[in-house]
Structure 1
């Protein structure tokens, strides 16, 4: 079975174009900003981004994939659900944001607070941007691609001018907000021009949002925790300087994950619609193969040109980032495969298993990150990410339904077993 129809392939390519432009633009200007700020102040931006990563997770309350699946299956029902829970997301966002900003006000310096406020505003528009989910689910990602590039272009120009004119560091909060605000406004305008559905707020949708999400929000928080725990540990055990260097390594070593995400998101809309279990197993196995091949190609490129990229874009102050890049590249390969497994479990409605699994991953991530960073510093941070992603992909997945994901990972050896299992 070919998992790539023309529409799916086109949608994947549009998503890749959007992210490719975003990442390359981000690398060029971020490197300029990183040189301007230095590792310590650049680490402050990374720190606030880490904090509001948790806020976004809590605001979505585990519902992003539920929303995506619902729109994929029934766009009209999905739209009502998206709009019916909009006000709830606003309440959740404010509830989470206010304590963080108060904490930054009392316990951090002025620059960190400014970056925190700017990141909070950007996070707000991201959590209210239901149009991205809708466009991806109905395979209209070209809209997201075009408007996101416009927003990024404006934000990058503003950021470049701030650095070029050597304005105060606090002005760098403006492009952080613009990156999310401009695409949100344009997508909202396009959607409202083509759709007649008005904003609604129904108790049934709010109850379902919290009820269905409650099984996934802990796992979503666990994902955020184990992916961000390294940043938090670096600040706690070292300083924002090390976090700044680590943030550069993550940008170069993991930012290409958009390639995997674009392919996975587009193919998933078809996998979610597949009713035959064995066919869905086969499609997931093929998708795994595609992600492995794509990822290995990128990792090879990082091995060859990684040091050159650090030297050209970031300079001597960030040279330590080079030794982390390839390790984080392999971790991104594992993360891509892990994303496929997680989305497959959502199709299977294995919400309870996801929640338990991700709590185990998060709990294991804390000691792993602490011990690796405490003993090995920056290089330990990179290896901790790789180890956590590998455990999440393999050990913690293989207890589901007598090793179903293990069998799918090694599909050629378990074809007959999976066919029998799909009939059971």
Structure 2
């Protein structure tokens, strides 16, 4: 338990620095370039983050599970995955650059290219997953904070000296390049103990990743589309300026997610290793309670402070982001809860079920977005996210027949058992099933 909490504190420290830096410096940049240019930057990152999600094929979850269970095998799978992600991302990114370059004006090309390169390094940063699985998050913290500090410093000076906004492409790339180089260098020098797999083994591991990843890829795409599809809808129905405002709402509403996510990341290895079905349910319930407790405090703070914060740090042009920010923060909580449920299903190899669930989620997201965005604008886009995320973590999981998924949520309708779970939250195991 002590190692898990220490690992979580390192991850929280890293994200806390990142959030404060990104919010304050990005707000300064957003003021400087205005909603239209900021919207172009946001949409460029949106497209290539989506491509990154496809290229990763859910490998983050697969690698975390494999490394936690068998370090040596996990290292070999990670090396094979690196080459697979590199090839897949390169093909998809080249297609994305070609399409976007034709659709947008020439001044936007440099942001498109910068976003493509930045997301490439982010996709290839598999060492980050290895460090989390080995409860060694402090290395991620050191590397990411160095990269973030340099990137934000460059952004600040570009805005401070009123340089050409196109120079902002440089810190976009530096934010992922520097951490990638630092983590990979440390890994190659100290941590890599398994030999590089032979070509035959590389093919074997690649086939395994593709077979497992194809089952997860639709789920990963769905998660990426929950908010991104609404950004695209906002851009299409309302315009690039509104897309920039919606991007601010997304940034503020999801900036705090690192708190529950960091805690969850440290507990996932033990969760995957748990062989007792009843104990796995109890641990999943504890993770839910953890997420809800942290989220409730943050959402209350957002409700009280978001209007003042946006006015002071982003400017009056972005005040339309206030209402969507509150709604999207609720959607963010549901998204974290959905990630817990997905991992519960993955623990019992429910990859095919996640594929079926994905089609339902995408349908809900698409229909709600098309209906709500044209009629309710930015608030409608936020409502679409909340509806999609809520169904994703609740109703759409209950049809998984292999394990009693619904039992995880039943406890929240039983005050006595909920209180027992709450009083037992400090222990790593429970002797009684509370399901």
TM-score (norm 1): 0.94
Deviation per residue, 1:26-81 (Å, 9 max, x gap): 00110011001101110111101111122111111122201110011111110110
Pairing 1:90–2:86 present: yes
Pairing 1:57–2:73 present: no
Verify the 8 A CA contact 1:55 1:97 in the aligned structure 2: yes
Q: After superposition, where does 1:281-296 map in structure 2 within 5 Å? A: 281-296=281-296
Q: Could you tell me how far apart the structure 1 residues matched to 2:49 and 2:4 are?
A: 29
For 1:146, which of 142, 149, 164 is the aligned residue?
A: 142
* Map of 2:115 onto structure 1: 119
Deviation at 1:412, TM superposition (A): 6.6
* Map of 2:99 onto structure 1: 103
Deviation at 1:110, TM superposition (A): 2.2
Verify the 8 A CA contact 1:234 1:243 in the aligned structure 2: yes
* Map of 1:303 onto structure 2: 303
* Map of 2:277 onto structure 1: 277
For 1:16, which of 12, 16, 21 is the aligned residue?
A: 12
Pairing 1:183–2:179 present: yes
Deviation at 1:176, TM superposition (A): 0.5
**Larger mean Cα displacement after TM superposition, 152-161 or 59-68:** 59-68
Matched position secondary structure for 2:397: coil
Pairing 1:256–2:292 present: no
Deviation per residue, 1:158-187 (Å, 9 max, x gap): 111111121111110100000000000100
* Map of 1:224 onto structure 2: 224
Q: Could you tell me how far apart the structure 1 residues matched to 2:337 and 2:374 are?
A: 29
Q: After superposition, where does 1:8-407 map in structure 2 within 5 Å? A: 8-194=4-190, 195-197=192-194, 199-200=196-197, 201=199, 202-401=202-401, 404-407=404-407
Deviation per residue, 1:289-341 (Å, 9 max, x gap): 11101100111111111111111210111011111121111111111111100
Deviation at 1:402, TM superposition (A): 7.9
Q: Could you tell me how far apart the structure 2 residues matched to 1:140 and 1:357 are?
A: 33
Q: Could you tell me how far apart the structure 1 residues matched to 2:212 and 2:333 are?
A: 29
TM-score (norm 2): 0.92
Deviation per residue, 1:263-294 (Å, 9 max, x gap): 11111111011111111110110110111011
Deviation at 1:198, TM superposition (A): 5.2
Matched position secondary structure for 1:399: coil
Verify the 8 A CA contact 1:59 1:92 in the aligned structure 2: yes
Give the direction of change, closer, same or farther, for the CA distance of 1:332–1:64 in structure 2 (3 Å limit).
same
Q: Could you tell me how far apart the structure 2 residues matched to 1:127 and 1:412 are?
A: 37
Deviation per residue, 1:346-390 (Å, 9 max, x gap): 111100001110121012211101111011001111111111111
State the aligned residue count: 413
Q: Could you tell me how far apart the structure 1 residues matched to 2:90 and 2:209 are?
A: 17
Verify the 8 A CA contact 1:111 1:169 in the aligned structure 2: no
Verify the 8 A CA contact 1:104 1:112 in the aligned structure 2: no
Matched position secondary structure for 1:167: coil
* Map of 2:426 onto structure 1: none
Verify the 8 A CA contact 2:281 2:407 in the aligned structure 1: no
Verify the 8 A CA contact 1:282 1:411 in the aligned structure 2: no
Q: Could you tell me how far apart the structure 1 residues matched to 2:402 and 2:155 are?
A: 52
Deviation at 1:199, TM superposition (A): 4.5
Q: Which runs of 5+ in 1 are unaligned?
A: none
* CA RMSD in angstroms, aligned pairs only: 1.6
Matched position secondary structure for 2:401: coil
* Map of 2:422 onto structure 1: none
